[in-house]
Amino acid sequence: MMDGGSFVTPDGRTIGDVLMEVRNITLRFGGVVAIKDISFDIREGEIRAIIGPNGAGKSSMLNVINGFYHPQDGEIWFRGAKRGPMKPHAIAHQGIARTFQNIALFKGMSTLDNIMTGRFTKMRVPWWQQAIWTGPAEREEVENREIVEKIIDFLEIQAIRKTPVGRLPYGLQKRVELGRALAAEPKLLLLDEPMAGMNVEEKEDMSRFILDVNDEFGTTIALIEHDMGVVMDISDRVVVLDYGQKIGDGTPDEVRGNQDVIDAYLGVAHD
Amino acid sequence: MSAEVLYTFEVILNGLMAGVMYALVALGFVLIFKASGIFNYAQGVMALFAALTLVGLQNGQVPFAHLLNAIFGTDMHYFGWKLPTIGGVPVLAIVLAVFVMIFFAWAVERLVLKHLVNQEPIILFMATIGLAYFMEGFGDLMWGSDIKKLDVGLPQGGNLWLEEATAGWGGDAFYGFYIDNLDIWATLFAAILVITLVLFSQYTKTGRALRAVADDHQAALSVGISLRSIWVIVWSIAGFVALVAGIMWGAKLGVQFSLSLIALKALPVLMLGGFTSIPGAIVGGLIIGVGEKLFEFSIGPLIGGATENWFAYVLALLFLVFRPQGLFGEKIIERV
Ligand SMILES: Nc1ncnc2c1ncn2[C@@H]1O[C@H](COP(=O)(O)OP(=O)(O)OP(=O)(O)O)[C@@H](O)[C@H]1O
Ligand SMILES: [Mg+2]
């Protein structure tokens, strides 16, 4: 059912071709094996959750996908082509954007400027032209500014446009970070615990934004989340990691019924 | 108004203008420190090198003349032409010198910084000390070590218009403000440069990228900013700032080794303004400029003069004691 072409999920959502595939990835830090021989794919238009207990290797997997970490073994395929070793900034230019588990915003900069940096890959006028503020430089600045204002409206953060983000409460910072990633109009959006540390209301808002992004822009999303309720609600497919290994992969319902997954979450001793 | 007050005012004006020049040098430090956490010991030598290059290009000096003559047994020193000027301003030589400084920035990134990514700040600092001495020697080798005159076509000497216009203000004891033309121009250029830099960093993509890199490397990478190309840009801008500083100080003092010591003037400014704040560098420069001129004017004669050599440091130290984070730095609160 899942090989090639599109398919329809139990919720009646149509999921497209494979966009990103990791094959037999192994990542070690000295003696620690953070990821052990893991393979899975992310399909166009889906919301793909990565779950697992603390230290399972979820963040490491995102870091491999966006190029912060280089796996010792395995292959990464993106948009049908095998990806060689690449620098993270080059991967961003390929259309992969992300947020971080521990918020990595530019603290001294305003909300607006933070989201504007998200447009970096879309702005092409060379720096010396910006320095002397040529016509094309000005036009590009204005056009991109308009797009950023739309994102600000979409995320309902008009009130904090000019506020230095370091002063914002945690929940809003997470939202600005999402805005910065969205600004890149990514083909693949990676979200590392977008709802961590939020209250129920903030979580609901964030879930709604994620679903809207996926719906309105058709953005493919891979997200890490600990809140099972949220995961089951918003994701199309779930991959489950534990101690660096993949122990489950499928629709939320399939995963929920998987004995290994239940054991991992109930803390049954590993042998 | 009494002559006394007016002369004090003149001292303050001169202090402000000196201050803009200090700010200019300090700015070079701040730019690099913010973006890469490197305290660039070579900033002063960069100003010297830039000025040497400008003079050399303008006068058609043969680069590496001593070396070439020694190898080939020739006796060449000048090509025998001068680059054209526009209204006495060596525009072409300045443009070429800008390109040389950009090339220099690129070379520094390629040959030095690239290999020192993620090293301790002290290691990077050491590297810039090495760089400073290398450039000093390289500058000597390339352009010779004799004192050179730099003429950038700016008027020199006291501004007569201002002197005459203000002569009547303070009775017989006051002869009008004496302000050096070169200082006026230097202040003007430095001010324009500073404003341009601020606008550039606020309102352009590359400016934002510079601030982004200064703030968080990982986040900057994740939005597609290449740290290495930003470093080249930052060093290019610092090179450009060094060139402007080199031109202004070089026109005043002649282009010679002591030009590189203007960096020492920037240190107290940095202590005052903080290492990461552009407004801090500007305001700090002005405070030091005015402070040292006023001190020399009022207290200097009582204690034998020459206070300008050390006053700035004492002022900066006092500041450090009471505001260790600098004028504009965030208060540092240690978590326990
Ligand atoms: N840069 C690193 N250097 C050394 N070890 C690392 C590094 N990054 C991750 N690890 C190790 O890899 C393992 C997986 O970490 P990872 O951060 O991927 O877990 P996670 O699933 O995201 O956990 P959490 O839910 O707590 O965020 C852990 O043992 C961690 O200590
Ligand atoms: Mg994690």
pLDDT at B258: 85
Domain ranges of chain A: 1-95+186-271, 107-184
Q: How far is A107 from chain B (nearest CA, A)?
A: 7
Full 3-state SS string of A24-51: EEEEEECCEEEEEEEEEEEECCCEEEEE
Specify the pLDDT at position B239. 93
Which ligand is located closest to the Cα atom of residue A30?
1
Residue contact B212–A117, C-beta within 8 A: yes
Give helix B43-58 / helix B227-253 axis angle, nearest 10°.
70
Residues 6+ apart with CB under 8 A from B95: none
Nearest to B205 among A107, A108, A123 (CB): A123
- How many Å is the Cα radius of gyration of chain B? 21
Which tokens sit at A265?
């979450």
d(CA B251, CA B154): 9
pLDDT for the residue numbered B48: 93
Of the candidate CATH numbers 3.40.50.300, 3.90.700.10, 3.50.50.60, 3.30.1330.10, the domain formed by A1-95+186-271 belongs to 3.40.50.300
- Tell me whether residues B200 and A100 touch, CB distance under 8 A: no
pLDDT value, residue A1: 45
Q: Do A120 and B209 touch (CB under 8 A)?
A: yes
More confident residue, B174 or B22: B22
Contact A165, A176 (CB under 8 A): yes
Of B203, B224, B233, the CB nearest to A89: B224
Q: How far apart are CA A243 and CA A38, in angstroms?
A: 11
pLDDT at A118: 97
Q: Which ligand is nearest to the CA of A52?
A: 1
| Cβ pair B208:A109 closer than 8 A | yes
pLDDT of the residue at B335: 52
State the number of CA atoms in the 13 A half-sphere of A202 facing the CB.
13
CB atoms inside a 10 Å sphere around CB A11: 8
Distance CA A164, CA B17 (A): 33
Identify the residue whose C-alpha is closest to ligand 1 atom 3: A29
Average pLDDT over residues B2-10: 85
- Per-10-residue mean pLDDT, chain A, length 271: 62 84 96 96 96 95 96 96 95 97 94 97 90 91 96 96 94 96 97 93 95 94 93 94 94 90 73 50
Contact residues for A115 (Cβ-Cβ < 8 A; gap 6+):
A148, A151, A152, A176, A179, A180, A183
Protein residue with least CA distance to atom 12, ligand 1? A34
Residue B36: predicted pLDDT: 78
Output the average pLDDT for chain B.
87
Cα of A172 vs its chain's centroid, Å? 17
CA B329-B330-B336 angle, 5° bins: 130
Give tens-digit pLDDT for B166-203: 887 777 777 788 888 888 888 888 888 888 888 888 88
Ligand that comes closest to the CA of residue A53: 1
Contact B324, B332 (CB under 8 A): yes
Convert B238-255 into a string of H (helix), E (strand) and C (coil). Answer: HHHHHHHHHHHHHHHHCE
**pLDDT value of position B178:** 84
Domain carrying residue B28 = 3-322
What ipTM was reported for this prediction?
Answer: 0.92
What is the Cα–Cα distance from A232 to A234, expressed in whole angstroms? 6
Tell me the per-residue pLDDT of B156-169, one tens digit each, with 9 for 90 and over.
888 888 888 888 77
Q: Give the Cα separation of A182 and A150 in Å (integer).
A: 11
Q: What is the 3-state composition of chain B as percent helix, strand, coil, each rounded to the nearest 5?
A: 70, 0, 25
Q: Stretch B102-110: mean pLDDT, rounded?
A: 92
CA distance A254 to B246: 71
The domain tally of chain B equals 1
| Token pair in block for residue A67 | 């190029």
Q: Name the token pair of A36.
A: 């052990």
Closest CA to A112 of B208, B34, B216: B208
Q: What are phi and psi of A84, to 5 degrees?
A: -75, -175
> How far A122 CA lies from chain B's nearest CA (Å)?
10
Please name the residue of chain A whose CA is at the shortest distance from the CA of residue B193: A131
- Helix boundaries (H) for chain A: 58-65, 88-93, 111-117, 127-131, 135-154, 170-183, 200-217, 228-234, 252-256, 259-266
- Span B267-312, pLDDT tens digits: 899 988 888 888 888 899 999 999 999 999 988 888 887 888 889 9
Position A2 scores a pLDDT of 46
Least confident of A248-252, B1-5, B120-124, B270-274: B1-5
At B27-83, the pLDDT tens digits run 888 888 887 778 899 999 999 999 999 999 999 888 998 889 889 988 888 888 888
For B222, which of A92, A116, A125 is closest by C-beta distance? A92
* Residue spans of alpha helices (H) in B112-180: 121-143, 160-166
The whole-number pLDDT of residue B336 equals 52
pLDDT at B53: 95
The 8-class DSSP code of residue A162 comes to: T
Q: Residue of the nearest CA to atom 19 in ligand 1?
A: A55
How many angstroms separate the alpha carbon of residue A68 from the centre of ligand 1? 13
Q: Is the minimum distance from the CB of A32 to ligand 1 under 6 angstroms?
A: yes
Q: Which residue has the tokens 């979409």?
A: A154
Ligand 1 atom nearest residue A57's Cα: 18
| Close Cβ partners of A67 (under 8 Å, ≥ 6 residues apart) | A86, A87, A88, A90, A91
Query: CA–CA separation, B238 vs B234, rounded Å?
Result: 6
CA B257 to chain centre: 15
> Is residue A52 in contact with ligand 1, taking CB distance under 6 Å?
yes
Cross-chain residue pair A120–B233, CB shorter than 8 Å: no
In ligand 1, the atom with minimum distance to the C-alpha of A30 is 4
pTM listed for this prediction: 0.85
Mean pLDDT of B215-229: 93
Contacts of A106 in chain B (CB under 8 A): 211-212, 215-216, 219-220
Is B221 contained in some domain? yes
Ligand 1 close to Cβ of residue A59 (< 6 A):
yes
Q: Beginning with the edge strand found earlier in the chain, give each strand of the sheet holding A47-51 in spatial order.
A: A96-98, A188-192, A220-224, A47-51, A237-242, A245-250
What is the rounded CA–CA span in Å between residue A206 and residue A171? Answer: 9
Q: What is the pLDDT of residue B161?
A: 83
